[in-house]
Amino acid sequence: MKKIYTLIIFCLILMQNASSQGVAIADIDSAGNTFTAFELKKSFTAIDINNQIATTITTQLFINNTNDTTGFKYAFPMRESAAATKIRWNYNGWQTASLIAAPQDSTFNADSAVTIYTPALLDTFLGHTPLYFPVDLSIAPGDSIMIELTYVELLSYRNNYVSFSYPGRYNLIQPTIGSAEFSVSINSYRIIDSILPRGYNVAVSAPGTTQASFSKTLLNTPFGTAFSFEYLLHPDSLGFFGFSTFYPDSIEMCDTINGFFTFIVEPNSESAIDIIGKDFVLIIDHSGSMSGTKMAQANEAAEFIVNNLNNGDRFNIVQFDDVAESLSPQFLNYTIQNKNTALNYINGISASGSTNISGSFDKAVPMYSASGSSRAKIIIFFTDGQPSAGITNSTQLIAHVKNLITNTAPDINLHVFGIGSDVNTNLLTELATQNNGSAAFLTTSNVATAISNFYTTIQNPVLLNTTITYNPPVVFQTYPNPLPNLYKGQQLIVTGRYTAPGPVTVTMNGTAFGNPVSYQYMLNLTDSLIEENSFLPKIWTQGKIDYLMTQYYLNLSNTQIANDIRKEIAALSLCRGVVSPFTSFSGANNGTGGTVGMEEIANNEDEIMLLVYPNPANNAFKVVIPKAYLSTGTASVSICSIDGRFITKIDVALGQDGVIDLNTEALMLETGIYILTVEVSGKAFKARLSVL
């Protein structure tokens, strides 16, 4: 599963990808041409938006309308910017899925199918970052099962508008859905001026306040149209807003830092003079593999960018196959005449030849030798293949581009787009992150939209070389890392941890027009567990996972470092209850054990019973017994393999905190999945343990 790992505000700019009702796929034939799915009878989706962070809980009722008793795999077209945090199902009682230390399994049993379908249609529905969940059950014909998925995401924001979208397209799966209900609640630190529903008419309550709510019920609908809306925040309340929560020691089990915070900052820069001029180069791969749809979309994206440059900008276009050529030997001032010349140049670009990536940068980077410190320096580069001409060794190519930029203009921001399935992910990620930029990986169907939306986000820079300091220094592990430039109409959203509550001075520094600029704000970090801010650990975890995934791609050439990062991501994912590329939800064992978020342990202790962390374990790990069951000072721990084979049994002493310290090596546990059974006070608790 590929995911976009960009460093600009949690990749909020590419949120147009699929997110829809999930589908219960019972079977796909061996050729992948047809599939069988349970009927989606009805769904209910609750959307709770707290200061632009949305928690969505979607519950769907499926009926096995086939003639066979069969299992199924639930597939949900998850957004690239969203993080799944929980799955439950109800089939003779609610069960909660576990997170396990294994990537998602997207395979299906091959059998004859009854529904005519095409792979392209399934891909169109699910997108390229779907969530898969295999339900370990056999459902009889006519029986129903309910699936509940919870996920969180930061919502797209531009020029005071916040956007939410839950696209439909379920008409691609079945003709109609009996009932689709939506309930929306918005709580904002800024006044909501208006709410603009898209696609469906809804009655909206309380515009002009900081809260709003509305709902919509669709009966016997094909649900082919997105359920989406925007809400407009009052422009006079720009500035800074922070929120935080502080977990007691009895709940915060993953590490010793108890505080989580997020703040949103948008300095007021309304006048046109506040927009920094930019020197911009678009590098277009037009090698032979770009022919057809890719080339057409690349040209469309280039035309959009040229049509949306600002007065005062300077620009150029570099196209390359085995040879690199440019529109002009040097930057052109943005004028109507130069714009029309560029559009004609773009229309003449066609696909042919091989891929000389190094040659394109040899052509583009020297143009910046005359750029001053007062200008934003931006390169957008995209390719669909591997380097096959010029410098073809990845390590040498990365070093070559880095040296070019360092020796010419080290403050260039290089943003890279990889198109299709044949790109070198490691190469492109390292090109971007070593040169102050971001990397994104796109399907062939969303190139023009993604690049156009990205350019719109960075169109008007207002603060360059952003840094943030905190006084007193009680703040740690903040993301995104590194911080992006700040652009007009965009927010900077920072999430992090803190060790001590109290007021903290946040100082944001940077440069504008070559001069230092500083903004200062006060962030009050709470000393209490704030229930309505319980999403903060999830948001922080997703930010850290995105950061670590970038480091993982950068270190793929060093197996040991990459493996260590992979283990860290898996451990973080399992302990915090946020799915990652190296973990997945499992419905085996009726959902017992596994890991859930800390707030779920606090609220559902009788249901959770047992916590194991870190999970997966590499060496030492801890087992935590709920304090309500600590009437005895000893416990018995039994360990079996996932297939039921007995491994060992030990008796251990319990401290007052109910924590049992164990070690995989001492227990002689090899890599795999195990079932722990802890007997204490006449009760037995089970949990699943993954060992790396």
The 10s digit of each residue's pLDDT in 677-688 is 888 777 777 777
Dihedral pair phi/psi, residue 429, rounded to 5°: -60, -45
Give the bridge partners for 283, in sequence order: 318, 381
Q: Does 272 have pLDDT greater than 70?
A: no
* pLDDT above 50 (res 220): yes
Contact at 8 Å (CB) between 351 and 419? no
pLDDT at 606 over 70: no
Structure-model confidence comparison of residues 651 and 208, the more confident one:
651
Confidence tier at 478 by pLDDT (50, 70, 90): very high
The DSSP 8-state label assigned to residue 289 in this structure reads G
Decide if pLDDT at 32 tops 70.
no
From residue 682, alpha-carbon distances to 433, 593, 623, 630 in Å are: 55, 19, 17, 11
Q: pLDDT band at residue 11, thresholds of 50, 70 and 90?
A: very low
Phi and psi angles of residue 404, each rounded to the nearest 5 degrees, phi first: -55, -50
For residues 317 and 330, give the distance between their C-alpha atoms in angstroms, rounded to a whole number: 10
Q: Is the pLDDT of residue 18 over 60?
A: no
**How many CB atoms are closer than 10 A to CB 357?**
30
Query: Which of 87-91, 110-114, 224-228, 235-239 has the least mean pLDDT?
Result: 110-114
Instruction: Select from 689, 650, 644, 649 the least CA-distant residue to 670.
Output: 689
CA angle 250, 255, 259 (to 5 degrees): 75
pLDDT score, position 636 = 86
Q: What is the pLDDT of residue 396?
A: 84
Q: What is the mean pLDDT of residues 47-62?
A: 89
Confidence of residue 604 (pLDDT cuts 50, 70, 90): very low
pLDDT of 357 above 70: yes
Kindly report which listed range (126-130, 161-165, 178-182, 535-539) carries the lowest average pLDDT score.
126-130
Task: Assess contact for 537 and 260: CB atoms under 8 A.
Answer: yes
Task: Report residue 101 as tokens.
Answer: 């230390």
pLDDT of 167 strictly over 70: no
pLDDT computed for residue 601 by the predictor: 30
Average per-residue pLDDT for the chain: 79
Q: Is residue 644 very low, low, confident or very high in pLDDT (cuts 50, 70, 90)? A: low
User: What residue type is assigned to position 177 of the chain?
Assistant: I
Q: How far apart are CA 618 and CA 659, in angstroms?
A: 18
pLDDT of residue 602: 30
Give the SS3 label for residue 357.
helix
Calculate mean pLDDT across residues 203-231.
Answer: 82
Asked whether the predicted pLDDT for residue 105 surpasses 80, the reply is no
Measured between alpha carbons, how far is 570 from 565 in angstroms, rounded to an integer? 9
Instruction: Give the range among 194-208, 327-341, 443-457, 633-647 with minimum mean pLDDT.
Output: 443-457
Share of the chain above pLDDT 90, in %: 17
20 or 466, which is more confident:
466
Cα–Cα distance between 350 and 329 in angstroms, integer?
Answer: 21
Say if residue 647's pLDDT is above 60. yes
Is residue 596 over pLDDT 70?
no
Torsion of CA 44, 47, 48, 54, to 10 degrees: 140
Residue-level pLDDT at 625: 73
Q: Is the model's pLDDT at 639 over the cut of 50?
A: yes
DSSP codes joined into one string, 460-517:
SEEEEEEEEEEESS-EEEEESSSPPPEETT--EEEEEEESS-EEEEEEEEEEETTEEE
pLDDT band at 505 (very low <50, low <70, confident <90, very high): very high
pLDDT at 473: 93
- Over range 339-353, report the average pLDDT: 88
Confidence of residue 526 (pLDDT cuts 50, 70, 90): very high
pLDDT, mean of residues 310-339? 91
How confident is the model over 127-151, as a mean pLDDT?
A: 86
Q: Is the pLDDT of residue 79 over 70?
A: yes
Long-range contacts of 628-631 (CB under 8 A, 24+ apart): 629/658, 629/680, 629/681, 629/683, 630/654, 630/656, 630/658, 630/680, 630/681, 631/681
| Separation of alpha carbons 601 and 687, rounded Å | 14
- Report the pLDDT value the prediction gives residue 654, as an integer from 0 to 100: 76
Least-confidence region, from 79-83, 527-531, 598-602: 598-602
Is 80 exceeded by the pLDDT of residue 354?
yes
**Under a CB-based contact definition with an 8 Å cutoff, are residues 600 and 608 in contact?**
yes
- Mean pLDDT over 507-517 rounds to 79
With 60 as the cut, is the pLDDT of residue 296 above it? Answer: yes
Nearest CA among 552, 491, 557 for reference residue 519: 491
Whether the pLDDT of residue 412 is over 80: the answer is yes
Per-residue pLDDT, 477 = 93
**Which carries the bigger pLDDT value, residue 4 or residue 107?**
107
Mean predicted confidence (pLDDT) in 27-41: 74
pLDDT reported for residue 632: 64
Residue 557, Cβ neighbours under 10 Å: how many?
12
Using CA atoms, how far residue 610 sits from 496, 618, 672, in Å, is 27, 19, 20
Write down the pLDDT at residue 281: 93
